[in-house]
Structure 1
Amino acid sequence: MKIVRAALLAAATCASVVQAQPQGDTQDIPAAKVFTLKEAVAAAGGAAPASEAAVAAVEAAEAGQRLAGLRPNPVVQVQVENIAGSGPYRGLRSAETTIGPAIPIELGGKRSARVAVARAQLTRAEIQQAITAADVRLQVTQLYVEAVAAERRLATARDQARIANDALRAASIRVQAGRASPLERQRADVAVTYAEANVERQARLAEAARINLVRRIGQPISGILDESVLDILPGTNVYGPAVPVDPSGTLALAAANADFTIAEAGVRLARANRVPDLNVGPAIRRLEATNDLAAVFTVTIPIPVFNNGRAAIAQATAQQTQADALRRLTALDIEQAITDAQAEAANAATTARAAAGPALASAQEAARIARIGYREGKFGQLELLDAERTLAETRVAAIDALAAYQNARAQLERLIARAPNAEY
């Protein structure tokens, strides 16, 4: 009996030590390299198709800005008159050949207006690139946290299965000694079956979470994950990150402001396009009959009869009004989203502190007392099983609460991420 009691006491002590230490302690595998969250984000940023698309969009916008600054190309005109007629104009005897360029001259500030639109589009593409990077960072963080949490749930399930097997051996000894009914061994055997099945489920979930992370970052994970990211909590007197509820400078509002700037530049371009351009054509004319040369100078001006540009201005003005309304709406939405995210992060931190602190400590102590009482015959098996079930549920709840806080914090950081251009 002394041997049995010593074994049960050792099992209880091991369970407490395992729970107190971070799961997957690197002391068990000292040579393993830790694959950090920062490394995962960096790897995903280079492999994500969204990041590649955002870079290509910036390059296209830069090319568009260069294109907008180019002047229109001149045109070479060749004109042959007084040919294939009758009398003296038969054949080419009286032909008059005119050769010269037609040089378009833009008026009304069209070129500078085009450049302004292209510059605004480039700024918008750069902001979108920053938005994409922030989205990738959020996605990878959530997948990384879930992978760490899944591995910790698996470690907890294995620990609970070990405890259930210890309880089965203790129940078997009690039944063989005639101190308990065979029903206790049956209950303990059922508990072991459920515990081992839970290990299988958690192992599949942990593998799936790791595969999802590998798929997102685009490369295999060469080391162990950094489990410390799950245990970062704010102080007891901190209720969410201390950031002002101000949407100014956030990525969402910067994008809305950039859209308004594009629309505003579009109005200027539409007004500039109302001014007709000139086509100046200095040329040389050769008279076939006398073999003489003469200078020719032409000026062409389009007549805005059917399209005077008013419809384009009306369209651009309406788009500017729409963009202005949307940026004001975005300011309200982002302010509300930041406030909600702050409250959610603060509540998640409170829940995590309670679940991973006093609640877990109480559940561990209750399980320890139940094991000792069951060993000494003071408590029945039902009390022991209930205490172990409560401990298992509390451990999982603590892991879930820690993961929920990390996800809430990542979401808040995504909302308050600053735009690359301070102007926005």
Structure 2
Amino acid sequence: MTTTKLTLIASLSLMALAAAPAQAGAQGGTSAKATDGATSAARALLSKPAAAPMPGAAILAAAAVPKPASASSADAPAGPAYSLPHLLDLAQSTNKGVAAAEANVDAASAAISSARAYPNPQVEVMYGRLSGKQPGVSSGNAPSYAVVQKLDYPHQRGLREAMATRGLESSQAVRRGFRADLAARVKTAYFDVLRRESELHAAEEDLAMMRQIHSRARLRVEVGEAPRYELIKAETELLASQKSQQTAELRVNQVKAALRQQVGGAMPGQYSLAGALGQSPDVPPLPVLRDTMTAGNAELVQRRMELERAQLGVDYQKSLRWPEVAVRAATDRQPDNNVSQIGLILTIPLWDRRSGPVGEATAQATQARSALEAREFELTQELESAYRQYEINQAQVTALESGIVREAESALGVAESAYRFGERGILDYLDAQRVLRGARNELIAAQYDLQLAAIQIEKLMSTAPGATAAPGLQPTSNIEQK
């Protein structure tokens, strides 16, 4: 709606400017003196030196044109401010996936108790009646009682306990990997919000500057010092800047909703963030990162535990070839005597030598080993790629901050002075402003990509949740926001 209104206003302004020469000719010499007075006053205004560039709110306060309706939402109360450690703590305490991972660890811990348990005894109770058919043979009840206790080999029980322990360690590694992945997603959303807010701030500065350019171009056209196409160009650029500002504001709201989704329902609808996008982490050398990842990556730890569990499974299946032994004690109560017995029950593996389960367990162990080696190679390549990307982004940030953005600012100042004194047209002025806008947006994008590369490295290290950086990834410098 705001863009439509501004387009209509611009069209009406162009129609009024087109009708101005006819009206001036009709008035004749009566308006010549008034025109000369207006021209002198306008030239006096244009000859004044331009004020120094004012960042942010100062430029917005100096703008003469009212803000669009879409800017009213930016002035609303921002709500509580959240730092990155606070967001990580909220995510770890409210995310339902963390609770599911904890339940998985509890189940694996209970499996150890199951592996340590001894087999339960079996009790047999049978009732019958003895009837004598010969004279002198007693008749009466003849109950029978028996107890069977299966004997458990200590070696087999130890293998079961070791397998359950490896399962617990694997579940703990899965939990740690989920926490690291959640922390990476929260950090990515956090820096995405900071990126979009920086883009919004830059778009607001561009809009304020375009309002000044438009006002100056309109004044130059009115006094006849510039052709009318300069005003048309300025109005077009003003509408484009206003559209960019509105788009940037909508993107801020979108990424804030995404961050709230990652953290959970504990965050209010309106909030702000504490931090800066230009905070650059210091990443250790690649060999140190490679050793740290190989030893501590959660996925690799999980796969190692699964491999050890599969190898123990092979030994356990082979141990089941041993004869199963059970102790049986029984007593038969007859009317005239009692019979008590005790003995052993052996299950002889004569036909089933468990070749199938042993082969299956061996294949699973081979599969686990191959998967571990393949994943270790993939993660090593991912680490090298993330590290090279970090170096590229760091070089881009340094080049943009120290050279390109400053040169673009200087070029804009020169173009502004040349335009003010009539040495250059508005196209040169707008081109210089467009170059500065592009360089500033490239700096914001490079800073965001630098944070993403550092986050990817932290994720590969399986950094403990709640920390702002992986071991050795400490923030060392603040890159100035342009």
Please tell me the TM-score bracket, short chain as reference. Answer: 0.7 to 0.9
State the partner residue of 1:44.
91
Closer/same/farther in 2, CA of residues 264 and 60 from structure 1, 3 Å limit: same
The structure with the largest alpha-carbon Rg is: 2
Mapped to 1, the partners of 2:449 and 2:47 lie a distance apart of 39
Which SS does the other structure have where 1:278 is aligned?
A: strand
- Does structure 1 residue 243 correspond to structure 2 residue 285? no
Which SS does the other structure have where 1:243 is aligned?
A: helix
Deviation of the 1:174 alpha carbon: 0.5
State the partner residue of 1:21.
none
- Does structure 1 residue 9 correspond to structure 2 residue 51? yes
Deviation of the 1:313 alpha carbon: 1.3
State the partner residue of 2:450.
405
- Does structure 1 residue 220 correspond to structure 2 residue 267? yes
Matches within 5 A, 1:288-367: 289-290=335-336, 292-367=337-412
Mapped to 1, the partners of 2:319 and 2:118 lie a distance apart of 15
Which SS does the other structure have where 2:280 is aligned?
A: coil
Which SS does the other structure have where 2:143 is aligned?
A: strand
Q: Give a deviation string over 1:302-337, Cα, whole Å, max 9, x none.
A: 232443222111111121122222222233222222
Closer/same/farther in 2, CA of residues 56 and 17 from structure 1, 3 Å limit: same
Mapped to 2, the partners of 1:352 and 1:274 lie a distance apart of 66
Mapped to 1, the partners of 2:49 and 2:347 lie a distance apart of 100
Q: Is the 8 A contact 1:284 1:293 kept in 2?
A: yes
Which SS does the other structure have where 1:155 is aligned?
A: helix
State the partner residue of 1:35.
82
- Does structure 1 residue 197 correspond to structure 2 residue 243? yes
- Does structure 1 residue 371 correspond to structure 2 residue 416? yes
Matches within 5 A, 1:19-418: 34-80=81-127, 87=133, 93=139, 95-107=141-153, 109-218=155-264, 219-220=266-267, 223-228=271-276, 230-233=277-280, 243-246=288-291, 247-287=294-334, 289-290=335-336, 292-417=337-462
Which SS does the other structure have where 1:301 is aligned?
A: strand
Q: Give a deviation string over 1:96-145, Cα, whole Å, max 9, x none.
A: 32113211112362211110110000000011111111101111111111
Q: TM-score, normalised by structure 1?
A: 0.87
Mapped to 2, the partners of 1:50 and 1:326 lie a distance apart of 25
Deviation of the 1:2 alpha carbon: 4.8
* Counterpart AA for 1:203: E
Deviation of the 1:338 alpha carbon: 1.6
Q: Is the 8 A contact 1:252 1:334 kept in 2?
A: no
Deviation of the 1:95 alpha carbon: 4.7
Q: Give a deviation string over 1:172-215, Cα, whole Å, max 9, x none.
A: 11111111112111111111111111111111111000000011
State the partner residue of 2:468.
none
Deviation of the 1:298 alpha carbon: 4.1
Closer/same/farther in 2, CA of residues 14 and 378 from structure 1, 3 Å limit: farther
Deviation of the 1:82 alpha carbon: 6.2
Q: Is the 8 A contact 1:127 1:419 kept in 2?
A: no
Q: Is the 8 A contact 1:107 1:276 kept in 2?
A: no
* Counterpart AA for 1:394: A
Percent of aligned pairs sharing the same letter? 23
Deviation of the 1:352 alpha carbon: 1.6
* Counterpart AA for 2:272: I
Closer/same/farther in 2, CA of residues 311 and 241 from structure 1, 3 Å limit: closer
Closer/same/farther in 2, CA of residues 95 and 7 from structure 1, 3 Å limit: farther
Closer/same/farther in 2, CA of residues 13 and 82 from structure 1, 3 Å limit: same
Deviation of the 1:403 alpha carbon: 0.1
Mapped to 1, the partners of 2:411 and 2:179 lie a distance apart of 47
Mapped to 1, the partners of 2:355 and 2:118 lie a distance apart of 24
Q: Give a deviation string over 1:253-283, Cα, whole Å, max 9, x none.
A: 2122111111111112112222232221223
* Counterpart AA for 2:252: A
Q: Is the 8 A contact 1:103 1:280 kept in 2?
A: yes
Mapped to 2, the partners of 1:363 and 1:279 lie a distance apart of 88
Deviation of the 1:242 alpha carbon: 7.1
Q: TM-score, normalised by structure 2?
A: 0.77
Mapped to 2, the partners of 1:273 and 1:361 lie a distance apart of 76
Closer/same/farther in 2, CA of residues 6 and 37 from structure 1, 3 Å limit: farther
Closer/same/farther in 2, CA of residues 55 and 14 from structure 1, 3 Å limit: closer
Structure 1, 160-169 or 28-37: larger mean CA deviation: 28-37
Q: Give a deviation string over 1:332-364, Cα, whole Å, max 9, x none.
A: 222222222111111111112222331111111
* Counterpart AA for 2:156: K
**Post-superposition, which runs of at least 4 consecutive aligned residues in structure 1 deviate over 6 A?**
15-18, 28-32, 238-242
Deviation of the 1:375 alpha carbon: 1.2
Closer/same/farther in 2, CA of residues 5 and 414 from structure 1, 3 Å limit: farther
Closer/same/farther in 2, CA of residues 151 and 15 from structure 1, 3 Å limit: closer
Deviation of the 1:17 alpha carbon: 8.3
Q: Give a deviation string over 1:2-58, Cα, whole Å, max 9, x none.
A: 545658424x3447988xxxxxxxxx9999754111111111112223212211110
Which SS does the other structure have where 2:153 is aligned?
A: coil
Deviation of the 1:86 alpha carbon: 9.5
Closer/same/farther in 2, CA of residues 4 and 81 from structure 1, 3 Å limit: farther
Give unmatched runs, 5+ long, in structure 2.
Answer: 1-42, 60-74, 466-482
Structure 1, 102-111 or 150-159: larger mean CA deviation: 102-111
